[in-house]
Structure 1
Amino acid sequence: MARTRTSLWLFVLISATFAAVPSPATAAPAPAPAAATKAAAATYTNPVSAGTVDTFPDPAIIKGKDGKWWSYGTTNPIFNSRGETGEHILPTLSSTDLVHWTYAGDVFPLTAKPSWWPAGTRPWAPDIRYYNNAYRLTYSLSVGGIGLATSPGPNGPWTDRGRIVPAASGCPSGTIDQAMFTDTDGSYYLYWGSYDTICVARMNDDGTAIAGAVTQIGHGRRMEGGFVVHRDGYYYLFYSDGGCCDGAFSGYTVKVGRATSPLGPFTTPTGVALTDLTSKDGDVLAATGNGWVGPGHNSLVTDLAGQDWLVYHAIPQTDPDFPPVTGANGATLNLTKRPLMIDRLDWINGWPTVRAGAGPSRTAQPAPVTTWTVGSTFDSGSAGFTGGFTWSGGLLTTAAAATSLSGGEVSGNVRVEGDVRGTAAGISYGPVTAWLDSASGRLVVDGAVSGSAALPANFNYQSWHTIVLTRRGSSLTVTVSADRLSQDVATVTLPVSFGGGKIGAVSRTGSADVDNLGAAPLFVPVTQRVTDPRVGALLPAFSDEFNGTAPNAGWSWVRPDATATVSGGFLVRPTQAGDLALGQNSAGVLVRNAPSTPFVVETRVQFDGVRGNQQAGIVLYDNDDRFLKLAHSVLPLSGFANTFLQQTEFTKEDRRASNNTVSSGPTFGGPAPQTMWLRLLYRDGVARMASSRDGVTWTWGAAWTMARPLRIGVVAMGGTGATGRFDYVRTYAAG
Structure 2
Amino acid sequence: MLRSVALLAAAVLALPAAVPVATAAPAPDAVTTATTQNPISGSFSDTYADPAVLRGKDGWWYLYATSDPLHEAPSEFGLMHIARSRDFVDWEYLGTVFDEDDRPAWTTDTSFYWAPDIRYVDGQYVLYYTVTDTVAEPGAWNFAIGAATAPTPAGPWTDTGGPVVPPRPTGNGDYFNTIDPALLSASDGKRYLYFGGFHGGLWVTELDESGLRAVGSPTQVTVGDRYEGSFVVERDGWYYLTASSANCCAGPVTGYSVYAGRSKSPLGPFVDHEGVSLLDSRVGGTQVLAQNGNRWIGVGHHTIVTDVSGQDHIVYHAIDRNDAWLDAPGGINQRPTLIDRLDWIGGWPVARAGAGPSDTPQPAPVTASGLGVDAFAPASNDALRAVRGGWTAGTDATGDGGDVAVLSDGGVARTRESAPREARVEADVRVPASGRLTVGVADGVSVTVDDAAGRLTVEGRVGGRTVRDAAPLPARFDAGEWTSLAVELRAGRATARLAESRLGDADAEVAVDLPRGVAKPRPVTLAASGGAAQVDNLTVVAAHEPVTSRVDEPRAGDALFGEDFDDPALAEGWSWVRPSSSVTVGEGMLRWPLESVDVVGAGNTGPLLLRTPPEGDWIAETKLHLDLGSGTIRNYQQAGLIVRVDDDNLLRLGDVAIWGTRQVEFGKELDENGALRWGAHLGGPVAETMWLRIHHTTDPETGEHRYRSASSRDGVTWRWGATWTLPAHTSPQIGLYAGGGATPATVATFDWFRLHEVR
- 1:670 match: 684
- 2:585 match: 566
Partner Cα separation in structure 2 for residue 299 and residue 342 of structure 1: 10
Work out whether 1:733 is the aligned partner of 2:757.
yes
Cα distance change of structure 1 residues 148 and 170 upon mapping to structure 2, 3 Å threshold = farther
Partner Cα separation in structure 2 for residue 648 and residue 380 of structure 1: 53
Q: State TM-score, norm by structure 2.
A: 0.88
Partner Cα separation in structure 1 for residue 453 and residue 545 of structure 2: 36
- 1:243 match: 247
What is the Cα deviation at residue 470 of structure 1?
0.5
What is the Cα deviation at residue 154 of structure 1?
1.2
CA contact (8 A) 1:40 1:97 kept: no
- 1:63 match: 55
Aligned residues: 692
Structure 2 gap ranges (5+) = 1-15, 135-143, 396-402, 699-704
The amino acid across from 2:380 in the alignment is S
- 2:164 match: 164
- 2:12 match: none
Partner Cα separation in structure 1 for residue 92 and residue 169 of structure 2: 36
- 1:18 match: none
Work out whether 1:711 is the aligned partner of 2:733.
yes
What is the Cα deviation at residue 279 of structure 1?
3.9
Of 213-222 and 199-208, more deviation after overlay is shown by: 213-222
Match of 1:597 among 613, 616, 628: 616
- 1:89 match: 79
CA contact (8 A) 1:417 1:466 kept: yes
- 1:74 match: 66
Match of 1:186 among 189, 199, 204: 189
What is the Cα deviation at residue 564 of structure 1?
0.5
CA contact (8 A) 1:550 1:565 kept: no
CA contact (8 A) 2:257 2:681 kept: yes
What is the Cα deviation at residue 723 of structure 1?
0.8
Work out whether 1:444 is the aligned partner of 2:450.
no
Partner Cα separation in structure 2 for residue 61 and residue 554 of structure 1: 54
SS at match of 1:34: coil
SS at match of 1:407: strand
The amino acid across from 1:712 in the alignment is I
What is the Cα deviation at residue 206 of structure 1?
1.5
What is the Cα deviation at residue 227 of structure 1?
0.6
Partner Cα separation in structure 2 for residue 666 and residue 456 of structure 1: 43
What is the Cα deviation at residue 555 of structure 1?
1.7
Work out whether 1:538 is the aligned partner of 2:568.
no
- 1:368 match: 365
Map 1:134-149; keep pairs closer than 5 Å: 134-144=124-134, 145-149=144-148
What is the Cα deviation at residue 493 of structure 1?
1.8
- 2:547 match: 526
Partner Cα separation in structure 2 for residue 116 and residue 723 of structure 1: 52
SS at match of 1:256: strand
Q: State TM-score, norm by structure 1.
A: 0.91
Structure 1 gap ranges (5+) = 1-21, 326-332, 637-643
SS at match of 1:612: coil
What is the Cα deviation at residue 41 of structure 1?
4.6
Partner Cα separation in structure 2 for residue 447 and residue 691 of structure 1: 47
- 1:503 match: 524
Deviation by residue 1:241-274 (Cα, 9 ceiling, x = unmatched): 0111111111101000000000000000011000
CA contact (8 A) 2:484 2:502 kept: yes
- 1:344 match: 341
Partner Cα separation in structure 2 for residue 444 and residue 694 of structure 1: 47
- 1:8 match: none
Cα distance change of structure 1 residues 86 and 93 upon mapping to structure 2, 3 Å threshold = same
Partner Cα separation in structure 2 for residue 724 and residue 213 of structure 1: 42
Partner Cα separation in structure 2 for residue 146 and residue 23 of structure 1: 53
Partner Cα separation in structure 1 for residue 519 and residue 598 of structure 2: 69
Deviation by residue 1:417-437 (Cα, 9 ceiling, x = unmatched): 111113235333245443322
CA contact (8 A) 1:45 1:364 kept: yes
Deviation by residue 1:481-517 (Cα, 9 ceiling, x = unmatched): 1121111221222315031222244321113211111
Match of 2:498 among 461, 476, 480: 480
Partner Cα separation in structure 2 for residue 169 and residue 480 of structure 1: 39
Deviation by residue 1:336-375 (Cα, 9 ceiling, x = unmatched): 1111111111101101101111101111222222221123
SS at match of 2:425: strand
Partner Cα separation in structure 2 for residue 84 and residue 64 of structure 1: 32
Q: List structure 1 segments (4+ residues) > 3 angstroms apart after TM superposition.
A: 169-173, 378-381, 430-433, 444-451
SS at match of 2:210: coil
SS at match of 1:248: helix
CA contact (8 A) 2:436 2:451 kept: no
CA contact (8 A) 2:296 2:357 kept: yes
What is the Cα deviation at residue 399 of structure 1?
5.4
Work out whether 1:27 is the aligned partner of 2:21.
yes
SS at match of 1:214: strand
SS at match of 1:411: coil
Partner Cα separation in structure 2 for residue 47 and residue 447 of structure 1: 43
Cα distance change of structure 1 residues 501 and 110 upon mapping to structure 2, 3 Å threshold = farther
The amino acid across from 2:484 in the alignment is T
CA contact (8 A) 1:131 1:464 kept: no
The amino acid across from 1:25 in the alignment is V
What is the Cα deviation at residue 224 of structure 1?
0.4
CA contact (8 A) 1:579 1:585 kept: yes
CA contact (8 A) 1:125 1:177 kept: yes
- 1:421 match: 430
What is the Cα deviation at residue 184 of structure 1?
0.6
Map 1:538-687; keep pairs closer than 5 Å: 538-540=559-561, 543-610=562-629, 611-636=634-659, 644-656=660-672, 659-684=673-698, 685-687=705-707
What is the Cα deviation at residue 381 of structure 1?
5.0
SS at match of 1:515: strand
CA contact (8 A) 2:377 2:536 kept: no
Partner Cα separation in structure 1 for residue 611 and residue 275 of structure 2: 37
- 2:176 match: 173
What is the Cα deviation at residue 43 of structure 1?
2.0
What is the Cα deviation at residue 407 of structure 1?
2.4
The amino acid across from 1:321 in the alignment is W
The amino acid across from 1:733 in the alignment is E
Partner Cα separation in structure 2 for residue 255 and residue 99 of structure 1: 27
- 1:230 match: 234
Cα distance change of structure 1 residues 204 and 281 upon mapping to structure 2, 3 Å threshold = closer
Partner Cα separation in structure 2 for residue 484 and residue 356 of structure 1: 23
What is the Cα deviation at residue 88 of structure 1?
1.4
What is the Cα deviation at residue 190 of structure 1?
0.6
Partner Cα separation in structure 2 for residue 443 and residue 490 of structure 1: 7
Cα distance change of structure 1 residues 410 and 115 upon mapping to structure 2, 3 Å threshold = same
Work out whether 1:114 is the aligned partner of 2:104.
yes
Cα distance change of structure 1 residues 454 and 88 upon mapping to structure 2, 3 Å threshold = same
- Sequence identity of aligned pairs in percent? 38
- 1:457 match: 475
What is the Cα deviation at residue 48 of structure 1?
1.2
Match of 2:394 among 392, 395, 402: 392
Deviation by residue 1:156-183 (Cα, 9 ceiling, x = unmatched): 1111113211112789732111101011
- 1:321 match: 325
SS at match of 1:164: coil
Deviation by residue 1:166-209 (Cα, 9 ceiling, x = unmatched): 11278973211110101112211010011141011111122111
Partner Cα separation in structure 2 for residue 526 and residue 86 of structure 1: 43
CA contact (8 A) 2:121 2:211 kept: no
The amino acid across from 1:382 in the alignment is S
Partner Cα separation in structure 2 for residue 189 and residue 169 of structure 1: 22
Aligned alpha-carbon RMSD (Å): 2.0
SS at match of 2:353: helix
- 1:305 match: 309
Partner Cα separation in structure 2 for residue 380 and residue 660 of structure 1: 60
